[in-house]
Structure 1
Amino acid sequence: MEWQGVLAALFSAIMLGGAPILAKLAYQAGADPTAVVILRTGLAALVLWALYLIHPRWRRYLYIYPVGLLGCMAVGFTNALGSIFYYLGLHRLDAAVAHLIYSMYPVLVALMIRLNGESIPGLTRLRMLLASVGLLLLLGRFQGRPDLLGVLLVLLSSGFYALHVVLSQRVLYEMPAQTLTLYALTAMAAFAPVAGWIFGGAHSEVPTAALGPILAMAAVLMLSRLGMFMGVKRLGGTQTALLTVMEILVTVTLAVGLLGERLTPIQWVGALFMVASVMLVAREAPRTPLPRWRMPLLPPAD
């Protein structure tokens, strides 16, 4: 197992686990869900461009070829749609419940990759089974009747996020994770206002009290995407998605501790199944490395 990829994926999961809590804080301050998505994505892209332009060693990652740019746009477009659906659904559901539903995406990633002709090792299938059983236990005891529209929106976001992971794996065959992060986030920032206008009708005004959580969400988005794409580059889409199940535990813990949400004992058992799925990564056999990007195309650092 490529431990650099494991650490990158876990870092991404821990960062993303706090995003729903920050979003709930922004909602409580009066921010509109689509405005939250548009602002956090735009800020993340602007800061990332500034860092790449200023840092000499990262400036070389600005290079991209036309077909690669189209791939990054596809990754950013699917991610933008998924984000809009997720934060609209999160506005209607508790943070813990919304993220539990959203955590179906590792299974969807594995199914998409299998449909693409790639094999899934036996231990990976066991980890998928544990994650799926954990999810069923987590969803088995809603507190009251669930908001069906909220559930549908989050399920749609899970599907788009899974597609974005699969597309990123393909794009990463031929470019560094740093390049994909920059251009995918830029495309996401460009598509998010359009998707928000179509699906959410975002309001332009954002209360001052919501700016702090939104700024924190922008930092989380920027760092987590970089970690996730590095994980996909080294581990592949399925393994990275299974590792990022850990983010649900971060979300649930924070939702219980900070927002006062509660889970039943059976839901906590489901969370343990998900932890077991993540911990089994240590038993995975090393995977075949992905084709490396052609380094001569990468300009040297200044």
Structure 2
Amino acid sequence: MNNKHRGAWFIVASAAGFATLGILIKSAFAGGANISTVLAGRFLLAGLFLFGILRARGINCSLDRRTALQLILMGAVGYGGMSGLYANAIHYLPASLTGMLLYTYPALVTILALIVGDERFNAPKGIALVVCSVGLVLVLGASFEGAQLAGVLSVLGAAVIYSCYIIIGNRILKNIDPMVTSLWVCTAAGLAFFCYGAAKGELILDVSLRGWLSIVGIAVFPTLFGVMGFFAGLRLIGATNASIISMLEPLITVLLSVILLGERITPLQGFGGAVLLFGGLILQLWGHEARHETVTEV
């Protein structure tokens, strides 16, 4: 197997890891955990795993004060805020719908990049944004059983925050080892949720075995394996190819949701999701002249 094929399989494995996030969060909730407990456990465990891996590889994890502060803010406010809204959406929406709606972020990143001057408008981007808008209308216009406005607003808010996270990250993190960045971001997010949960009295230790196993699974599969698989593949096939293959994530989420959770989607819902992903694919193919993928995904 050559490097390109190996890289592609790494990205597929990464997408599969990320795709388990919504399902495992639902499982953790069913086991008695809440958002603060789930996300504090997720990020602190992932941070410990990443620290161990980096130390074993002899990589220096220290950063200058300014960069460290930037990463702490990105983790606690940016990635933490996005993760909190995503987890909140899981309370209200099927995992399949949540996964599809989160993938409005490529279009949002392009809009923000145009606004701040990181990119220039062209015809393919205009077409892609129209296609994404049509896909979003189709997805939201379809009737999802159990879908609630609070969940839709939460996941769209998560997509907006993640888009800002990408734009800011691409400006300040270009010369930092992505695994080191992930360590700082995960640790900052974990400590933020731990402190918030402790202050509000929301940390729950009386969680069932299913709940704890789900939290560990979240730290391992969508966080640790997802990040490591993505960067392993990224080095072999490049950012654009990795980003395109990563778009398998919402499709795998839908498949796992149907198999494991018994969720069902109608042909119209599936078509809307496909249209939304096609718009994202156009942006991945023509929307990268001034940016690269950032250090941590969902």
**Quick check: TM above 0.5?**
yes
Q: Output the TM-score relative to the length of structure 2.
A: 0.80
Q: Give deviations 1:82-102, integer Å, cap 9, x for gaps.
A: 111211221122111222332
Structure 2: distance between partners of 1:209 and 1:188: 23
Secondary structure at 1:261 match in 2 = coil
Shift of 1:206: 1.9
Structure 2: distance between partners of 1:85 and 1:9: 25
Moved more, 177-186 or 237-246: 237-246
Structure 2: distance between partners of 1:213 and 1:114: 39
Structure 2 counterpart of 1:300: none
Relative to structure 1, the CA distance from residue 88 to residue 280 in structure 2 (aligned partners, 3 Å threshold; closer, same or farther) is closer
Q: Give deviations 1:235-279, integer Å, cap 9, x for gaps.
A: 999997776443211111111111111111111112322453465
Structure 1 counterpart of 2:135: 134
Structure 2 counterpart of 1:18: 20
Structure 1 counterpart of 2:109: 109
Structure 1: distance between partners of 2:268 and 2:281: 20
Taking every aligned residue pair, what percent have the same amino acid on both sides?
25
- Say whether residues 1:43 and 2:52 are aligned partners: no
Structure 1 unaligned blocks of 5 or more:
291-302
Structure 1: distance between partners of 2:72 and 2:97: 30
Relative to structure 1, the CA distance from residue 91 to residue 286 in structure 2 (aligned partners, 3 Å threshold; closer, same or farther) is closer
> In the alignment, is the contact (CA less than 8 A) between 1:89 and 1:149 conserved in 2?
yes
Aligned partner letter, 1:151: V
Structure 2 counterpart of 1:66: 65
Structure 2 unaligned blocks of 5 or more:
293-298
Structure 1 counterpart of 2:253: 251
Relative to structure 1, the CA distance from residue 288 to residue 110 in structure 2 (aligned partners, 3 Å threshold; closer, same or farther) is closer
Structure 2 counterpart of 1:216: 217
> In the alignment, is the contact (CA less than 8 A) between 2:72 and 2:185 conserved in 1?
yes
Matches within 5 A, 1:177-216: 177-196=178-197, 201-216=202-217
Structure 2: distance between partners of 1:214 and 1:205: 13
Q: Output the TM-score relative to the length of structure 1.
A: 0.79
Structure 1: distance between partners of 2:148 and 2:288: 42
Relative to structure 1, the CA distance from residue 28 to residue 282 in structure 2 (aligned partners, 3 Å threshold; closer, same or farther) is closer
Q: How many residues align?
A: 286
Structure 1 counterpart of 2:295: none
Structure 2 counterpart of 1:52: 54
Shift of 1:153: 2.1
Aligned partner letter, 2:158: S
Relative to structure 1, the CA distance from residue 282 to residue 73 in structure 2 (aligned partners, 3 Å threshold; closer, same or farther) is closer
Secondary structure at 2:274 match in 1 = helix
> In the alignment, is the contact (CA less than 8 A) between 2:45 and 2:219 conserved in 1?
yes
Structure 2: distance between partners of 1:200 and 1:134: 41
Structure 1: distance between partners of 2:154 and 2:72: 23
Q: Give deviations 1:122-156, integer Å, cap 9, x for gaps.
A: 43444444333223222221235732222222222
Give the alignment's Cα RMSD to 1 decimal: 3.6
Structure 2 counterpart of 1:296: none
Shift of 1:51: 1.2
